[in-house]
């Protein structure tokens, strides 16, 4: 009896989370795809269904024939959307590189720190991640706005005479993304750098490498897994970011997450926002696969 | 990696941490500012905190958020722990690749996509939007974070301990609850806390999946932030930061104590067997 119960428990351990994710993670994507193919309508829910189970098989075939990819053509035709996709990718890419440049020295410094204080440093990097994302973005409004703290400080020191306009520009979005996602970059970098064998660098130095060339020829290539994981962890969510461009960026900066939000909440166009989401997902599928692979590899190595 | 800890390293750490912490510190400091103008200091005051507690809308939203966070974190911890066990213990089952994909993908999935897709699911199955839809949405993405945290602990766990229990006649179920679970408990607890704060924090997914009567605190904060920076919002944020920081510090003290206890037990055991 006990053995029987245990066998059932083993099944359940797999089946319950599996089913949950199938129903609440995978199935919703199929619905998004379905609705992206339907026409908008002035009703609740505001779209004409593309398929209906009640139609039966013949009805289904009929529907597939008339299926409308209209939303996609419309999206790809409208420069507003193509520009939003391109500028999202650009902004996310640039901020990922800045985050890498800012995060690498921090991770390196942590990995080189005396072993006794490393856990504390790690905790200090993780702690801001626990505080609300929204709050951290909000904090920058007070700093960056024309009469904000940064401008007050710069004018006080006499570096500038007129307040810098940073809030509501793309620069503010860069600052916001770098700031919010920095821990995501530092943690994977730190974990690869910390495991690195110091004697390799010593060997390179003994063989006549300068400090800098030892870094670029030994340390950096060995830390590439961490670099890839960190960059993916920053880049992928940043492409679809909504809160940062909405609060820090101006109305002229286009990012696709914000476009989707406006399309959905302000224009109530569900089919178009679904099509926007499907294309965004298609753009991100390669980076997501890269991320999965790097995760799987590091898990295998950890065994 | 040990060795020289040069000036360059120290400077980059100091600058890095200043960048991470200064904005939060400024926010907290200015929540005690007397003036309504948030960026002009005019004296210490706690009046914004007093005003906060008489703000019905904000208090209601805080209560909704607390309930959602508690319920979703608890369910997510159970599901996420099960998922982590499935991934580490059962290396071969049908659809394992899809399963691990579904566990890792939500970690990086843009929130607007997750939120929109869940909303469309709830509409498709005619599920009334409100408290429970937000909770289900939060369970779905936070269980993946729990799974990752618990999985990394499970991988460093010495499996022979569980095998010993099984050899001594324990059923697998009993072996799990009496041997494995106590060992991975710190990871489970930190998974719960992570799920709790993720839920506490979420604006985008909650905005999509919420319905009338289930406005969460981030949604409320967001609608006020759009109108501009106000000292009340600074005060709300300070309280939230305070709660989270206290939680994290308490948790780390507990884990440290457990670690010390465990080491002492191991030493004692070693002395007996020696």
Taking an 8 Å cut-off on Cβ atoms, the answer to whether B9 and A16 are in contact is no
Measured in angstroms, the CA of B37 and the nearest CA of chain A are apart by: 10
In degrees, to the nearest 5, what angle opens at C-alpha A229 toward C-alphas A19 and A239? 80
Interface test with B, best of A21, A137, A179, A196 (most B CBs within 10 A): A21
Q: What is the pLDDT of residue B1?
A: 43
Q: Is the pLDDT of residue B122 over 90?
A: yes
Q: Are A179 and A200 in contact (CB under 8 A)?
A: no
In chain B the first and final C-alpha atoms are separated, in Å, by 34
Name the minimum distance, in Å, from the CA of B172 to any CA of chain A.
6
Range of weakest confidence among A60-64, B56-60, B252-256, B258-262: A60-64
Q: What is the pLDDT of residue B3?
A: 45
Of B38, B117, B194, Cβ closest to residue A142: B38
What is the pLDDT averaged over residues B216-242? 84
- pLDDT less than 70: residues of chain A: 1-3, 40-68, 299-303
**Out of B106, B116, B229, closest to residue A277 by CB:** B116
Alpha-carbon span A238 to A234, nearest angstrom: 6
**CB B233 within 8 Å of CB B30:** no
Complex ipTM, two decimals?
A: 0.84
Cβ atoms of B52 and B58 within 8 Å: the answer is yes
Contact between chains at A132 and B240 (C-beta distance less than 8 A): yes
- pLDDT value of residue B263: 78
**A14 CB within 8 Å of a chain B CB:** yes
* A156 and B CB contact within 8 Å: no
**pLDDT, tens digit, for every residue of A135-169?**
888 888 888 888 778 888 888 887 877 788 888 88
A136:B24 CB<8 A: yes
Do A2 and B139 lie within an 8 Å CB cutoff?
Answer: no
Alpha carbons B110 and B90: distance in angstroms, whole number: 29
* Cβ pair B217, B200 in contact under 8 A: yes
Of A189, A191, A218, nearest to A202 by C-alpha is A218
Cα–Cα distance, A146 to A162 (Å, whole number): 9
Return the pLDDT at A230.
92
Is the pLDDT score of B65 beyond 90? yes
Residue B193 pLDDT exceeds 90: no
For the CA atoms of chain B, what is the radius of gyration?
23
Provide the whole-model pTM: 0.84
User: Quick check: A17 and B1 CB within 8 A?
Assistant: no
Residue B219 banded pLDDT, cuts 50, 70, 90: very high
* pLDDT in the model for residue B273: 67
On whether the CB atoms of residues B211 and B162 are closer than 8 A, the answer is no
Smallest Cβ distance to A24: which of B100, B118, B172? B118
Contacts A–B by Cβ distance under 8 A: 269
Determine the pLDDT at residue A123. 84
**SS in 3 state form for A153-194?**
HHHHCCCCCCCCCCCCCHHHHHHHHHHHHHHHHHHHHHHHHH
Scanning every residue of chain A, which has its alpha carbon at the shortest distance from the alpha carbon of B141?
A25
Token couple for A59: 């009805």
Residue B5: band (very low, low, confident or very high) from pLDDT cuts 50, 70, 90 = low
Show residues of chain B in contact with A106, CB under 8 Å: 12-13, 16-17
């Amino acid at each position: 009896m006990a053995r029987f119960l245990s066998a059932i428990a083993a099944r359940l351990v797999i089946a319950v989370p599996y089913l949950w994710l199938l129903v609440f993670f995978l199935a919703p994507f199929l619905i998004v795809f379905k609705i992206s193919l339907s026409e908008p309508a002035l009703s609740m829910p505001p779209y004409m269904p593309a398929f209906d189970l009640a139609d039966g098989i013949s009805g289904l075939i009929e529907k597939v024939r008339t299926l409308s990819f209209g939303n996609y053509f419309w999206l790809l035709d409208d420069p507003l959307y193509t520009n939003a996709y391109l500028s999202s990718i650009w902004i996310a890419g640039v901020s990922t590189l800045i985050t890498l440049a800012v995060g690498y020295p921090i991770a390196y410094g942590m990995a080189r720190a005396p072993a006794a204080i490393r856990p504390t440093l790690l905790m200090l990097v993780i702690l801001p991640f626990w505080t609300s994302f929204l709050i951290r973005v909000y904090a920058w409004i007070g700093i960056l706005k024309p009469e904000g703290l940064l401008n007050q400080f710069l004018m006080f020191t006499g570096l500038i005479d007129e307040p810098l306009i940073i809030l509501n520009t793309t620069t503010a979005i860069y600052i916001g993304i770098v700031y919010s996602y920095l821990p995501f970059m530092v943690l994977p970098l730190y974990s690869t750098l910390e495991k690195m064998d110091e004697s390799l660098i010593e060997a390179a130095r003994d063989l006549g490498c300068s400090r800098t060339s030892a870094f670029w020829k030994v340390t950096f290539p060995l830390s590439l897994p961490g670099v890839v994981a960190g960059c993916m962890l920053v880049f992928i969510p940043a492409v679809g970011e909504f809160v940062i461009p909405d609060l820090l960026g101006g109305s002229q900066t286009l990012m696709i997450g914000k476009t989707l939000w406006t399309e959905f909440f302000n224009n109530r166009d569900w089919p178009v926002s679904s099509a926007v989401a499907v294309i965004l997902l298609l753009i991100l599928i390669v980076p997501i696969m890269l991320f999965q692979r790097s995760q799987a590899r590091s898990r295998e190595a950890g065994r | 990696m040990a060795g020289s800890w040069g000036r360059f390293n120290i400077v980059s750490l100091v600058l890095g941490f200043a960048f991470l912490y200064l904005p939060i510190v400024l926010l907290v400091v200015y929540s005690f500012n007397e003036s309504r103008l948030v960026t002009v200091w005019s004296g210490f005051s706690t009046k914004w905190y007093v005003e906060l507690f008489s703000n019905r809308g904000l208090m209601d939203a805080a209560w909704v958020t607390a309930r959602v966070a508690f319920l979703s974190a608890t369910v997510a911890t159970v599901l996420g722990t099960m998922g982590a066990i499935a991934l580490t213990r059962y290396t071969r089952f049908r659809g394992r690749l899809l399963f691990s994909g579904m566990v890792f993908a939500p970690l990086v999935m843009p929130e607007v996509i997750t939120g929109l897709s869940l909303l469309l699911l709830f509409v498709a199955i005619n599920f009334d939007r409100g408290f429970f839809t937000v909770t289900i949405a939060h369970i779905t993405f936070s269980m993946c974070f729990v799974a990752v945290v618990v999985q990394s602990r499970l991988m460093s766990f010495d499996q022979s301990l569980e095998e010993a229990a099984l050899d001594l006649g324990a059923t697998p179920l009993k072996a799990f609850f009496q041997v494995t679970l106590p060992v991975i408990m710190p990871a489970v607890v930190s998974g719960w806390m992570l799920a709790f704060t993720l839920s506490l924090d979420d604006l985008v997914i909650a905005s999509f999946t919420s319905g009338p009567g289930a406005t969460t605190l981030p949604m409320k904060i967001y609608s006020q932030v759009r109108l501009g920076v106000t000292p009340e919002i600074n005060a709300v944020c300070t309280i939230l930061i305070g709660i989270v920081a206290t939680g994290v510090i308490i948790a780390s003290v507990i884990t440290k104590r457990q670690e010390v206890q465990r080491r002492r037990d191991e030493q004692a055991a070693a002395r007996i067997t020696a």
